């Protein structure tokens, strides 16, 4: 007997864990920039330069807080004792909202804002801004005449790099309105990001490759994203998707091994990069075979072969039960492609003989 089924599923726990891992990895990028800030601050020990470090530490705290809230929602989801469909969907929707919010926050704080700071360091603008700030603090200098109302509005700018650029513009063109200063500062900010884009793309591509993302997906990210934040968000999503697929594969291997199958991952596991799917074949010593095709789109196909009568149900039913109860794979749709094809083939053969006679 053979039995082939296509499953549409969602692995909420797997997805959330993958997104958390991707978000946690982004914190390392902030740490690297903090190290550069501290190195710069050795020669520029001013409140203005130290503000950059505080800004980055605040960014880290914001990401970490969202990660913890995300994990708390996962605990709530996993502790649900009944699978009331309305409550389940509401909880999953909330998790997805948090996931989207976390991804957007990470993309911004480790994308354009971080790249702007890197560019400020690289192009010596921290030193330039520091000199202006020092002169402003020297009461006897009288060199800077920026209106107090303009200076107050500049100091209220949250983005530390944009604030620094606004200060530089205000100093170099005294007497201008706040709006005019901001327009010039924003243009300079955008130019910094544009000059940083090529290097950022190269780093994003290297990161995706190191995480096993296929070249087709990498090309789509690079060609489809126009801004640093878009590249940051889409490359993070691609890395998360790859983590989900790998973890789903691990889950299926564990579950099928529990049914007595032997999995030779060196010879019976193939990755089809063009179709972005994974093929897996597992065997039993008695001759039964289980074949899987795992797609990134939230589907997998399984086929059990080599059984007599209804014996394969003894392996299929516990396997599916394990996926749901142990690994949190929620089946959304199940489509039986065929059941007992040996019987079907026999009927087709008999029909062919009748027509021929």
Per residue in 45-71, pLDDT (tens digit) is: 556 667 788 888 999 999 999 999 888
Interval 129-134 mean pLDDT? 56
- Residue 51's nearest CA partner among 160, 166, 185 is 160
307, 313, 281: which is closest to 294 by C-alpha? 281
| pTM, two decimal places | 0.77
Domains of the chain (ranges, CATH numbers): 3-9+243-356 (3.30.160.110), 12-241 (no CATH)
pLDDT at position 124 is 76
User: pLDDT class for 1, splitting at 50, 70, 90?
Assistant: low
In this structure, of 263-267, 313-317, 347-351, the range with the lowest mean pLDDT score is 347-351
Q: What is the pLDDT of residue 356?
A: 40
Q: What is the pLDDT of residue 277?
A: 85
- Overall average pLDDT of the 33-40 stretch: 81
Between CA 220 and CA 262 the distance in angstroms is 37
pLDDT score recorded for residue 167: 84
Tell me the C-alpha distance between 220 and 117, whole Å.
27
Residues for the chain: how many in total? 357
Query: Is the CB of residue 278 less than 8 Å from the CB of residue 269?
Result: yes
- Measured between its terminal Cα atoms, the distance across the chain in Å is 29
Q: For the chain, give the percent of residues with pLDDT over 90.
A: 24
Q: How far is Cα 127 from Cα 6, in angstroms, rounded to an integer?
A: 61
């Amino acid at each position: 007997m053979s039995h082939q089924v296509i499953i549409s599923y969602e692995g909420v726990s797997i997805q959330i864990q993958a997104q958390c891992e991707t978000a946690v990895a982004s914190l390392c990028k902030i740490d690297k920039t903090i190290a550069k800030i501290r190195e710069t601050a050795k020669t520029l020990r001013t409140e203005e330069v130290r503000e950059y470090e505080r800004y980055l530490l605040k960014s880290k705290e914001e990401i970490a807080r969202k990660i913890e809230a995300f994990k708390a929602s996962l605990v709530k989801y996993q502790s649900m004792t009944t699978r009331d469909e309305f409550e389940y969907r509401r909880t999953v929707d909330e998790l997805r909202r948090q996931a989207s919010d976390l991804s957007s926050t990470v993309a911004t704080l480790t994308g354009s804002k971080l790249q702007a700071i890197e560019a400020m360091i690289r192009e010596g603008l921290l030193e330039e801004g520091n000199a202006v700030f020092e002169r402003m603090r020297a009461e006897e200098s009288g060199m800077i005449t920026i209106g107090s109302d303009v200076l107050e509005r500049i100091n209220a700018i949250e983005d530390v790099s944009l604030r620094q650029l606004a200060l530089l513009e205000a100093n170099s063109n005294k007497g201008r309105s706040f709006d005019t200063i901001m327009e010039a500062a924003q243009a300079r900010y955008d130019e910094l990001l544009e000059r940083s884009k090529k290097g950022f793309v190269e780093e994003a591509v290297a990161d995706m490759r190191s995480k096993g993302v296929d070249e087709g997906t990498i090309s789509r990210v690079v060609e489809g994203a126009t801004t640093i934040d878009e590249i940051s968000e889409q490359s993070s999503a691609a890395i998360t998707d790859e983590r989900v697929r790998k973890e789903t594969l691990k889950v299926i291997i564990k579950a099928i091994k529990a049914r007595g199958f032997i999995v030779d991952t060196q010879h019976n596991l193939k990755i089809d990069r063009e179709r972005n799917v994974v093929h897996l074949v597992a065997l039993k010593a008695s001759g039964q075979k289980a074949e899987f095709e795992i797609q990134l789109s939230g589907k997998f196909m399984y086929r059990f072969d080599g059984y007599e009568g209804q014996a394969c149900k003894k392996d299929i039913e516990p396997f599916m039960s394990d996926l749901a109860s142990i690994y949190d794979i929620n089946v959304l749709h199940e489509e039986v492609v065929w059941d007992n094809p040996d019987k079907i083939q026999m009927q087709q053969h008999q029909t062919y003989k009748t027509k021929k006679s």
